[in-house]
Amino acid sequence: MSAIIDIGFTFNFGGLDFTQFKMNTNGWITFNTSSVSTSVYNAISSSETFVIAGFSANLNLTGVNPMSYKLSGVAPLRILQLQWKGITHTPVSPGSGSLTSGEFQIWLYETTNVFEVNYGTFITTPVANFGSYAQVGWKGECPTDGDALYKNSYPYWDTPWNGYGYVTSLSFGSSGGFLFLPMPGELFRWTPAGIPLPIGLTSFTATSKNNINILSWTTNTEMNNDHFEIERSADGITFHEIGTVEGHGNSSYVSDYHFEDISPFSGINYYRLKQVDYNGDFRYSQVIFVETKLFNHSALVIYPNPAGADITILPDTTIRFTEIEIYNSFGVLKTKSMDEFHFDLSGWLPGIYFVKARQQGNYYYSKFTKL
């Protein structure tokens, strides 16, 4: 159990106002700052009170700063983001498998008192038969004051269950080659009663076609809806805005929206909508993802890769590029050239960078790692 941590704002939970909390290494937090629990891993069914469980299980944490928190935004709409990463879990009877890596976050929203659990990538190896349970949900001052999620089968964590937190768990593991783990970008959200949702979002999908990712969403009602901000992520955790679409203000009819991401990452792209009211209040949608298989990947020769202080980008045929663009993992253009193929990377941060080369009307894509 961590020391007492300041939230940074007043958060109403279970009908009471709190300004402090504690984080537990077993994947849960409590607003009861007198708690001294260190080994409790079934937080919802335990005697603990005022609990939010993101992935409450008998976890081991690895790596640097496996538990962290960050306050972002501006009052009165700040967000406290709590993160667990490098989590592992070995069942009491492990058999032939275990959870070897996982990460997730709990978000607390100022003013609205909404809270969310956001999941990153979970890996089990080998993919064999093993299983265990994690508790996900919340509990107030008594066992029946709460709400938990229940899914006791595979392959999906997709069944919400409104009821008493002390009787529920979520299975995780693998069986017969099927995984039943949180999906990257999966999100669970709890909204306190009495807070009207500004829009009725009935669908949100993404498709990839001709190196362009097309996002589509539909609303059936809107209230004070100023605009949508489209956010993208390469890992399902850290998102950055890539565009905006104007909302319809106030409506009670079906509205269809579309946005095209013309420079997606190669591989899996995660997206979410940030719906913003006229007064600046905002809500996030669920996270969706689509795999983008960029064409003509093999036409690029990049060396050295991984790169140090510089890099050279050339075609692997007799064609000549007319333009080369390099983007960072946030989709921000770092450099562009129409006649140079040798790039100075001095001062660039370590990480993954994406290359987009043009030859007349054709595009070629690849990526490299900066050390």
Residue ranges per structural domain of the chain: 5-190, 199-292, 297-370
pLDDT in tens, 35-89: 767 777 777 777 888 899 888 888 888 888 889 999 988 888 889 999 999 888 7
pLDDT of 109 strictly over 80: yes
Place of tokens 């260190």: 38
pLDDT in tens, 189-201: 777 765 555 678 8
pLDDT of 370 strictly over 80: yes
Q: Is the dihedral of CA 182, 187, 193, 196 positive or negative?
A: negative
Measured in degrees and rounded to the nearest 5, phi and psi for residue 166 equal: -80, 0
pLDDT of 146 strictly over 50: yes
Tell me the residue type at 136.
V
What is the rounded CA–CA span in Å between residue 352 and residue 268?
14
Q: Which of 81-95, 147-161, 238-252, 332-346 has the highest mean pLDDT?
A: 238-252
Cα angle for residues 227, 328, 281 (degrees, 5° grid): 20
Helices (H) and strands (E) in the chain, counts: 0, 32
| 142 within 8 A of 165, measured Cβ to Cβ | no
Measured in degrees and rounded to the nearest 5, phi and psi for residue 95 equal: 60, -115
pLDDT of 152 strictly over 50: no
- At 166 the three-state DSSP class reads helix
pLDDT of 333 strictly over 50: yes
Hey, what are 350's tokens? 């370590």
- At 1 the three-state DSSP class reads coil
Hey, what are 24's tokens? 């537990």
Identical topology for domains 199-292 and 297-370: yes
The 3 state secondary structure assigned to 87-101 is EEECCCCCCCCEEEE
pLDDT of 178 strictly over 70: no
**CATH node for 199-292:** 2.60.40.10
Average pLDDT over residues 109-119: 85
pLDDT of 17 strictly over 80: yes
What is the rounded CA–CA span in Å between residue 15 and residue 22?
19
pLDDT of 154 strictly over 50: no
* Cα distances (angstroms) measured from residue 363 to each of 261, 298, 318, 325: 15, 12, 15, 11
Lowest-pLDDT choice from 19-23, 174-178, 323-327: 174-178
Hey, what are 104's tokens? 């997730």
- What's the CATH number of domain 297-370, 3.90.950.10, 3.40.50.410, 3.40.190.10, 2.60.40.3080? 2.60.40.3080
pLDDT of residue 137: 80
Measured in degrees and rounded to the nearest 5, phi and psi for residue 303 equal: -150, 150
pTM for the model stands at 0.54
pLDDT above 70 as % of the chain = 77
Hey, what are 116's tokens? 């969310």
- At 165 the three-state DSSP class reads helix
Q: Which residue has the higher pLDDT, 195 or 177?
A: 195
Lowest-pLDDT choice from 173-187, 208-222, 267-281, 311-325: 173-187
What is the rounded CA–CA span in Å between residue 299 and residue 358?
11
| 230 within 8 A of 243, measured Cβ to Cβ | yes
